[in-house]
Amino acid sequence: MELDNAIKLGKICQRIKSQVKTYLDNYVESVISIISIVKYIENTINNTDYLNTNNNYNPVAFPVGVSVNNVCAHDTCISDSDNRIFNLETDLIKIDFGVQKDGVIIDNAFSYTRNNDYDKLVLASKHMVQTVIETITADKKIIDIQKVAEEALNSFNNSNDTNYIAISNLAGHQIGNYQIHADETQLIYPNCIVNKNDFYRIKGDSLYAIEFFVSNGINQFPGMESSNNTHFMVSKGKLPKLTKMKIHNSEFNSIRNIIVKHFGTLAFCQRFITKWINLDIDTINETLDYFFSLGIISKYPPVIDSENCVVSQHEETIYIPDNQNIKPLVLS
């Protein structure tokens, strides 16, 4: 684990997060476009000297997420022509971004709103994350961590006269080298509804993204907008196959080469590909669908709660030492 690199990346994330909040606080108009926030964050990352290395991999660890109100996660702009807007005075947004250098990824997210009606909702997800960080150590059973998260939300509801629920099909996760989601046995859910196994344990000398989503609705298992995939990754273990496979379609071949050279196993979206090749989104989607049909590419659509709900998110990346007696180091 390159801890020195992770610490530096964490400080970069903290600085960018502070800059984004200031940018939004000082934004004069009530209405702002999603693409403007996405590009502000991407440009800030790309213009950070420490992240400019000789390797070709994208320092933007995954597509910047800007998910509004009932959209829980994975919403981003797949093209520069995205003209969606939202209202800073009334809406709640989740901003999820990450940076990477030499395969070390720092992932973080926060909720932003000027609407005081959502202050407690924003605090609820943050309270869950902070409570879990206080108790998590190497070798602790994951199911026990999930119980802590569940109790944290119950306690928050009791203290604040709220009735919030945790989104139960979104989870915290271990972060690996060039992998935003590493070991599938290391998913940390907000309760024990999905994962009831009591034999998986937290791994030491590892990075974890501790994140929870809290809704003011009643649906614990939001659906996915499968017709609108926004995040893509090379499936685990499939990068060598993608690199070596023969592709006769010239456009498909060009897109494959871009994925291998600039993303590897990092997450990307359609818009990222257009940075290196002038192709329309339909052609890119056709190519990605082809790779998906071969089991080489995995795709992830936005997760969307019921229409009248609002969801908050909070996320921090932490380093967990091997020593169970040492508390985790909060990086982002």
Q: Which residues of the chain have pLDDT under 70?
A: 1, 54, 225-227
3-class DSSP assignment, residue 174? strand
Q: What is 231-300's CATH topology?
A: Arc Repressor Mutant, subunit A (1.10.10)
The pLDDT tens digits of the residues spanning 201-251 come to 999 999 999 999 999 998 888 877 666 899 999 999 999 999 999 999 999
How far is the C-alpha of 303 from the C-alpha of 309, rounded, in Å? 13
Which pLDDT belongs to residue 25? 97
Enter the DSSP assignment of 237: T
Cβ contact 86:60 at 8 Å: no
pLDDT tens profile 93-104: 999 999 999 999
Q: How far is Cα 186 from Cα 182, in angstroms, rounded to an integer?
A: 8
Tokens of 247: 């592709």
Distances (CA, A) of 126 to 58, 104, 184, 293: 29, 24, 24, 38
Right CATH number for 3-218+304-330 from 3.40.50.720, 3.30.1280.10, 3.30.1330.10, 3.90.230.10? 3.90.230.10
| Token pair in block for residue 157 | 């509801």
> Any idea where the domains of the chain sit in the sequence?
3-218+304-330, 231-300
Identify the three-state secondary structure at position 98: strand
C-alpha angle 207-213-214 in degrees, rounded to nearest 5: 145
pLDDT at 226: 62
Identify whether the C-beta of residue 331 lies closer than 8 Å to the C-beta of residue 318.
yes
